[in-house]
Structure 1
């Protein structure tokens, strides 16, 4: 009886427009954001997530101060920051340092704006915890664009991306436009973090980006298979986590993280059958010996 009642409650909730919009947003996010996670893991740029969280807070603070849409300001701030640090990303270590600097400057500027402007700081920080039922048309447009652009980029420049994720120097020697491609990837990562803020909050954005990629790299043996696995896991986690949150009347963000984390742990119990690095491209040009 309890199960039937709970199921009926979920069915009634799914008739509500905000719930339907939130579910659709999670489906769109599951197409593009896990692929962004593949980029984060492949380039070994874990600090980028934390830096963009702070940049998003700065954008939100500026939006509240100026009366503009806070989420739009966060999106623009993250995109510009991603492009701005790209020239410093000569190596993964250089990128990590750049992200550390960006994170420190962004949070300092955000706190300064909030302090001197009299803006309600709790309103800015609340957005970092997510508000999935407040997803609007603009959020769906951003997530839909990511769902198209990111997979399309992977299909269009698959060989170049595979080389870049495998070895930056090898990619450069092979004629890959490393600088331009890195800039594009960093901008996409930044936009993805900003675009997912309302879904899980910036502090829990890993559920939609990094965690599906971590599970996928265990199951895939090439960039293509890892990407497909990441999207499949993302869709499964997002739907299962969202329905579970509705059923139990729990906040969706933490439930999505715990669901994705459980999948990652379960996948890592599967014996690893390959010996090559998951980032190795399917066909890396070998140097001739003559």
Structure 2
């Protein structure tokens, strides 16, 4: 195949595969915790790490990882201990991260605003061997946490109080989810971009929830959707010369709409079947069973 003959597309497809696996793998916990926009906030903070990478002439992915992890820890502490001013503190953190990234890139000798654009929206041609190595290592960490600790992470995401009663280290697990989400942002920024990575963490999970009925099925289907749209979007970007990040996200939204359309009639049939089963168990006219006419007063 022509697309596999070029080295940069080989790297891009491998990176897209890793992003398609890792983003939904941690996103399933964020959706369960109702923190769907956490990735978006971390993406803003990671921009400062990208700027530091250019300023210090180091790999921006590693610097973005360090800064986004620190930002994720700060966000989780604000969420846990912040009161009425917590939302303001988070807003300052997000906007400060974005402004810091733009400023640092412009004052550096090796970067420019054009370079920052490839991190904001993703770029296939800029994935280097060093980037692919960093992405692979970080993706391995994300999967080790999200799969290896899936029972504990699900418990704390479902009900913190119940998890605390059972003896789980809730605070540490909350921080671990936030840190893993930050690492995922760094993994995905070369392919999807910092401004769109949150969509890939959330949309495949929500799409999977339309037809799945268990956490295990949702997890597996979300990863499958993430891999499919990531590879399809990257391939489309190569042949049609369109932005990879935007293409991947729009494909994911398309899958969500398709599964929603399929799930609606299925849900209605299930509801009718359940109603019919109840009617058979409690038929009208059987002594002791109330009917609608029982409530009519003369």
Q: Shared topology, TM-score over 0.5? A: yes
Length, aligned pairs only: 265
Q: Which residue of 2 aligns with 1:219?
A: 211
1:251-290 deviation digits (Å, cap 9, x = unpaired)? 2222111111100111111136489xxxxxxxxxxxxxxx
Q: TM-score, normalised by structure 2?
A: 0.78
Q: Is the Cα–Cα contact under 8 Å of residues 45 and 96 in structure 1 kept in the other structure?
A: no
Taking the aligned partners of 2:237 and 2:115, their CA distance within structure 1 comes to 24
Alignment of 1:45-194 (within 5 A): 45-90=35-80, 99-113=90-104, 120-194=112-186
1:90-141 deviation digits (Å, cap 9, x = unpaired)? 2899876653332033234335545666863343344312112221233333
Alpha-carbon distance change, 259 to 18 in structure 1, aligned in 2, over 3 angstroms: same
Taking the aligned partners of 2:229 and 2:3, their CA distance within structure 1 comes to 19
Taking the aligned partners of 1:31 and 1:18, their CA distance within structure 2 comes to 20
1:39 is displaced (CA, Å) by: 2.0
1:178-207 deviation digits (Å, cap 9, x = unpaired)? 111111111110111122111021122145
Alignment of 1:8-27 (within 5 A): 11-27=1-17
1:228 is displaced (CA, Å) by: 0.5
The root-mean-square deviation of aligned C-alpha atoms, in Å, is 2.7
List alignment gaps of at least 5 residues for structure 1: 1-10, 276-290
Q: Is the Cα–Cα contact under 8 Å of residues 29 and 144 in structure 1 kept in the other structure?
A: no
- Structure with larger Rg: 2
List alignment gaps of at least 5 residues for structure 2: 272-298
1:146 is displaced (CA, Å) by: 4.4
Q: Is the Cα–Cα contact under 8 Å of residues 28 and 147 in structure 1 kept in the other structure?
A: yes
